[in-house]
Amino acid sequence: MRKASLKALRGATGEFYGLEKSEPALCTVGGHEQKGATRKGALPLVPVVVLLVALALAVALAGFAVQPAEAQTAGGPVVAWGGFNEFGQLNVPSNLSGVKAISAGGVHNLALKEDGTVVAWGGNYYGQIGVPEGLSGVKAISAGLSHSLALKEDGTVVAWRGYNAYGQGSVPSNLSGVKAISAGTYHNLALKEDGTVVAWGANGLGQTTVPTGLGGVKAVSAGGSHSLALKEDGTVVAWGRNAEGQSSVPSGLSGVKDISAGELHSLALKEDGTVVAWGDNRFDHGSVPYDLGGITAIDASVYHNLALDASAPGPITSFAAIADDGKVSLSWKNPSDTDFQTVRVLRSTTGTATSPEPSAQQTQIYEGTVQSYEDTNLANGTTYYYTAFAKDEVGNWSAGATQSANPADATAPTIDSVTPAARPKPAKSTNVTATFSEAMDEGSLKASGTFTLLQKGKSTPVAASVSYDAATKKVTLTPSKRLKSGETYKVMVTRGAKDAAGNPLAAAKVWSFTIKQ
């Protein structure tokens, strides 16, 4: 199954039937569910409402897994599914491609192509899929219950045929300068470039009676018999049917960035990624899940809602990497997001990671919620780069937090063996050697006072040269003159001797020998 995700959520003001979610990227709120209460991450099973299509559409635009059908990447085919196909609304045209936007109506669908043309399919008993011949230059579409709208690049609106008993299919003759449209059940809204709203169609409950003086609007949404407008200041205005409270905007609601009008309820998406609902709540669709956050798009239907969580969780903080001998100790603080799920850490010797996915260069060394990890069996003297990503429960990854560390030898060297020994007594021509447990720093061994030979009773070291063989890890002191017969000599190797990593000798070494007669 290919991966895809919804850039925006748009559907008919109707019900979906028997949908089951494969991955928790698309969340639902409410619904007339047959098996238990709806929660975040559970799609409800709802009964079919005749004339309200059992349909879902998705254009694959980036990261949501859709089942049972496949979704492809941007510009690819449209996918439709559901349990009711009497009008062919699930039969996506086989040659449909290059789609950039979709809209599902009652029993018909619209697709806007990259070239600005529109394709329609499904129920046509009112002519709602009869796209006007030559229609082009379209930048937005919206399907109502049984009529269709298109917004052109020149700011004009086109409606075609469809059920027009309330005039919803008859665009006002002087309408121009439009930047957004929304088709409701039997009415429409148009948002103009100047921030004003024009409405037409059914008005039995005041849904097309735009409040006097309404301006500064940046988004509109037409519901069943009510209308919503989002203002530039982040507040919401509602009008029309209010029997269920759908037009009673919660007091103090602000910081809103998107709106969606359902059949009898309303949704608002706030800048902080939370969702506010009001109006009809008979099936809990007005009760937003307590853990719903990080939402980037919303859509209200009849008895359920959709919310798209495409926002990344916050990154981990206080990321630290402490190098030691052959290991690096990592620590961090997990993000505080309510939907945080796990942290993944990648390691590389070539640089930090730009993606949380492991690769030939990036090795995954940890995934979990414990806020520390010890990376062992590392090569001393090598720089290791670490990138940590946080993931939320719907699969969004945070930006990577990075650290680097260079493990180093921290073990003090020791002397494994020395010559000459006290017995048997060595000859006058003997050299003095010490073999170490690991590679040593030659400069430290040759430094004055590190490796010395003293004749008993003398305070001045015997004149000698010092050499070091890295292959055998042996240092040799060669006296410049032969040693004296019968004399006792003392050898000292001080802690000035250091290994290649700079660790001093664990303990000074002193021994004596007497030259044979």
Query: Which residue type does 237 have?
Result: V
Based on the fold, state whether residues 43 and 156 are members of the same structural domain: yes
Based on the fold, state whether residues 281 and 379 are members of the same structural domain: no
Based on the fold, state whether residues 75 and 201 are members of the same structural domain: yes
For 147-255, strand residue ranges (E) read 148-152, 157-160, 178-183, 187-192, 197-201, 217-222, 226-231, 236-240
Predicted pLDDT at 257: 98
Based on the fold, state whether residues 400 and 324 are members of the same structural domain: yes
Based on the fold, state whether residues 167 and 53 are members of the same structural domain: yes
Binning pLDDT at 50, 70 and 90, where does residue 415 land? very high
Binning pLDDT at 50, 70 and 90, where does residue 452 land? very high
Containing structural domain, residue 125: 26-308
Give the range among 280-284, 300-304, 470-474 with minimum mean pLDDT. Answer: 300-304
Predicted pLDDT at 77: 65
Domain boundary among 283, 308, 333: 308
Binning pLDDT at 50, 70 and 90, where does residue 294 land? confident
Structure-token pair, residue 2: 């290919």
Based on the fold, state whether residues 290 and 152 are members of the same structural domain: yes
Closest to 298 measured CA to CA, from 337, 268, 320, 271? 268
Predicted pLDDT at 21: 31
Based on the fold, state whether residues 298 and 328 are members of the same structural domain: no
Predicted pLDDT at 51: 28
Q: What is the mean pLDDT of residues 62-79?
A: 40
Domain boundary among 350, 381, 405: 405
Q: Give the separation between CA 241 and CA 165, rounded to whole angstroms.
A: 19
Q: What is the mean pLDDT of residues 441-446?
A: 98
Q: What percent of the chain has pLDDT over 90?
A: 76
Whether residue 59 is predicted with pLDDT greater than 80 in this model: the reply is no
Whether residue 449 is predicted with pLDDT greater than 60 in this model: the reply is yes
Whether residue 130 is predicted with pLDDT greater than 90 in this model: the reply is yes
Structure-token pair, residue 193: 């470039």
Whether residue 143 is predicted with pLDDT greater than 50 in this model: the reply is yes
Binning pLDDT at 50, 70 and 90, where does residue 497 land? very high
Q: Give the separation between CA 323 and CA 354, rounded to whole angstroms.
A: 23
The residues pairing with 4 across neighbouring beta strands, listed in sequence order, are 64
Q: What's the CATH number where 441 sits?
A: 2.60.40.1220
Q: What is the mean pLDDT of residues 355-381?
A: 97
Q: Is the dihedral of CA 517, 514, 423, 433 positive or negative?
A: negative
Structural element, H or E, at residue 442:
helix 442-446
Q: Give the separation between CA 119 and CA 203, rounded to whole angstroms.
A: 29
Phi (first) and psi of residue 159, to 5 degrees:
-120, 145
Q: Is residue 15 part of a domain?
A: no
Q: How far is CA 329 from the centre of its chain?
A: 25
Q: Is residue 7 part of a domain?
A: no
Please provide the DSSP assignment of 31-45 as one string: ---SSS---TT-PPP
Q: Is residue 11 part of a domain?
A: no
Binning pLDDT at 50, 70 and 90, where does residue 27 land? low
Helix, strand, or coil (residue 444)? helix
Closest to 225 measured CA to CA, from 243, 205, 244, 211? 205
Give the range among 38-42, 46-50, 452-456 with minimum mean pLDDT. Answer: 46-50
pLDDT digits (tens, 9 = 90+) for 387-411: 999 999 889 999 999 999 999 998 9
Closest to 299 measured CA to CA, from 37, 23, 13? 13
Based on the fold, state whether residues 281 and 161 are members of the same structural domain: yes
Based on the fold, state whether residues 141 and 188 are members of the same structural domain: yes
Whether residue 484 is predicted with pLDDT greater than 50 in this model: the reply is yes
Predicted pLDDT at 308: 86
Q: Is residue 200 part of a domain?
A: yes
Whether residue 315 is predicted with pLDDT greater than 70 in this model: the reply is yes
Any idea what DSSP says for residue 182?
E
- Indicate the average pLDDT of the chain: 87
* 164 to 148, 182, 191: CA distances (angstroms): 11, 16, 21
Q: What's the CATH number where 182 sits?
A: 2.130.10.30
Based on the fold, state whether residues 422 and 345 are members of the same structural domain: no
Based on the fold, state whether residues 52 and 188 are members of the same structural domain: yes
Q: Give the separation between CA 96 and CA 109, rounded to whole angstroms.
A: 13
Binning pLDDT at 50, 70 and 90, where does residue 343 land? very high
Q: Give the separation between CA 101 and CA 71, rounded to whole angstroms.
A: 14
Predicted pLDDT at 296: 87
Predicted pLDDT at 30: 54
Helix, strand, or coil (residue 110)? strand
Look at 203 and 34; give whichever has higher pLDDT: 203
Non-local (6+) Cβ contacts of 142 within 8 A are 10, 103, 110, 148, 149, 151, 181, 182, 183, 188
Q: What percent of the chain has pLDDT over 70?
A: 85
Peptide bond into 424 cis (omega under 30): yes
Predicted pLDDT at 49: 29
Q: Is residue 466 part of a domain?
A: yes
Non-local (6+) Cβ contacts of 121 within 8 A are 88, 89, 91, 92, 93, 108, 109, 129
Q: Is residue 14 part of a domain?
A: no
Q: What is the mean pLDDT of residues 68-75?
A: 34
Q: Is the dihedral of CA 55, 59, 61, 66 positive or negative?
A: positive
Domain boundary among 308, 339, 369: 308
pLDDT digits (tens, 9 = 90+) for 151-201: 999 999 999 977 899 999 999 999 999 999 999 999 999 999 999 999 999
Q: Is residue 9 part of a domain?
A: no
Structure-token pair, residue 281: 């709540």
Q: Is residue 429 part of a domain?
A: yes
Whether residue 38 is predicted with pLDDT greater than 60 in this model: the reply is no
Domain count across the chain = 3
Give the range among 97-101, 154-158, 439-443 with minimum mean pLDDT. Answer: 97-101
Predicted pLDDT at 342: 98
CB 222 within 8 A of CB 261: yes
The residues pairing with 363 across neighbouring beta strands, listed in sequence order, are 347
Q: Which residue has the tokens 């044979």?
A: 516
Instruction: Please tell me the pTM assigned to this model.
Output: 0.65
Q: Give the separation between CA 36 and CA 301, rounded to whole angstroms.
A: 20
Based on the fold, state whether residues 123 and 241 are members of the same structural domain: yes
Q: What's the CATH number where 361 sits?
A: 2.60.40.10
Structure-token pair, residue 40: 């975040």
Look at 293 and 373; give whichever has higher pLDDT: 373
Whether residue 228 is predicted with pLDDT greater than 90 in this model: the reply is yes
Binning pLDDT at 50, 70 and 90, where does residue 32 land? very low
Any idea what DSSP says for residue 399?
P
